[in-house]
Every structure is written in C-alpha cells, then in structure tokens.
Structure 1
Amino acid sequence: MAELRDDEEEGSRIEQFRALVELEPEDYLGHFGLATAYFEAGRFREAAEEFRATLSLKPDYSAAYRYLGQSLEKLGEAEEAREVFLKGIEVAQRNGDLQTKKEIEVFLRRLGKPAG
C-alpha cells in the first residue's frame, strides 16, 4: 500500500513540475525539478532530457551536470556520462561549488571501476 502511495506521489510531483515547465518554459529550476522527479522515479531517459534542458537555459548550473551524468550512467551511456562529469567538475570549480565538485569526482571514479 505504501508503495502505491509513493508511486502516486511521484506521479503527482512529475505532473506538477510538468505543468510548471509548460507555464514557464524558460524557468531552469522548473526543468531541474521535473528532471529530478523523473530521476527519482527511475525514468532516466526523461530525466536526462530535462537535465539537458536545464543546462541549455543555465549552462553553469553544476548540480544538473551531476544528475545528468548519473542518468546517463544508469542508461549505460558511460562515455557520455564521463564527458558530462568532467564538464561538471570544470563548471563546479569555476563556480566555487566545491561540494558538488567532490560529489561529481566520486561518481567519476566509480564510473571507472568495473561493476561488482
């Protein structure tokens, strides 16, 4: 029963952010919120699309690189994930966003290790 409620809440969050993006298509935080909702729902392809939309509106938003890289990794697109992580590290460093930089570096190191 709790699982059904969680699915309904995720769907509701997705719908709320989708409506926000339709009303304010230039709002990078709306796209980021929608992308995060997709990511949390395990809808990584849609998440990646929305993280890309976020970055097209705000190319220096380092958190979006972190999640885009993770989404691509989940989709099995390791090389593209690596490129995104490297760009994210560069952007985070430039912004002084050291926590996000460290997080991305951890994901990049994990990407280089074989699963198991």
Structure 2
Amino acid sequence: MGIIDNLEAMRAKGQDSALMRYSLGNEYLKQEQTDQAIEHLAEATGQDPNYSAAWKLYGKALTQASRYAEAVEALNRGIEVAEAKGDAQAVKEMRVFLKRAQSALDASG
C-alpha cells in the first residue's frame, strides 16, 4: 500500500485535516495527477487559510495545469499569508512561482 492509499484510507475513516490534504496534494502532484492534487490542496487552504505551504503548492499545481489566472490568485493570497506570518522563504518561493504564472497568463491572453 502506497502513501496515497494510506492517506486516503485515513481520510475515509474521518481523519481529515489541512495537513492530510496538503500531504495528499503533494503526493498526487508527485504522481503527475494534477487534478487530484488541486482538489486536495484547495481543500487544505479552505480548512486552514493561513497554511502558507499549502498555498504555495496549490499555486504550483494550478500553474502545472495551465490554470494561470487561478494560480496568480492563489499565489497572491499565499504571499499575503506568508508575509503576515513572517515566512520569508515561502514569500520568496511564491514570488518566483507568481512571476512564472503571470508570464504564462500574459502569453496566453
């Protein structure tokens, strides 16, 4: 049984949390199952709107899915959250992702 199977089994038993959803999203993204990753990362940010790592990964997943406008929105929100927490490294990383997503959005529009 793999990590995804274990996490999904725990979730099915009612053990749901932002961390679990983040973990599922991360594992699905590693498996290039972007739609599933986005679903879980959206839920993680919904359960804990101050989870800057979840916002970062959510923005990355949306960018990989070519959902650039949504990625820009998620990354901007993530930067706000990370700045409020003083998480300078997350801010720095999300600004890089944001620049890429914005460039892709501009090129596609």
- TM bucket by the smaller chain? 0.7 to 0.9
Considering only aligned residues, what root-mean-square deviation do their CA atoms show, in Å? 1.6
> Which secondary structure state, in structure 2, belongs to the residue aligned with residue 59 of structure 1?
coil
Gaps of 5+ in 2: none
Under a length normalisation based on structure 1, what TM-score does the superposition of the two structures give?
0.83
Do 2:10 and 2:16's aligned partners in 1 also have CA atoms closer than 8 Å?
no
1:27 aligns with 2:46: no
Do 1:26 and 1:57's aligned partners in 2 also have CA atoms closer than 8 Å?
no
Distance 1:111 1:72 in 2: 9
Which protein, 1 or 2, shows the higher relative CO under an 8 Å CA cutoff with sep ≥ 6? Answer: 2
| Cα deviation code 1:82-108 (max 9, x no counterpart) | 010100000000111111111000111
Aligned to 1:84: 74
Residue 21 of structure 1 and its aligned partner are, at CA, apart by: 1.7
Gaps of 5+ in 1: 1-10
1:99 aligns with 2:85: no
1:37 aligns with 2:27: yes
Under a length normalisation based on structure 2, what TM-score does the superposition of the two structures give?
0.88
Distance 2:45 2:85 in 1: 15
Aligned to 2:99: 109
Distance 1:52 1:14 in 2: 17
Distance 1:67 1:92 in 2: 13
The number of residue pairs the alignment matches comes to 105
Deviating 4+ runs (over 6 angstroms): none
Distance 1:113 1:54 in 2: 26
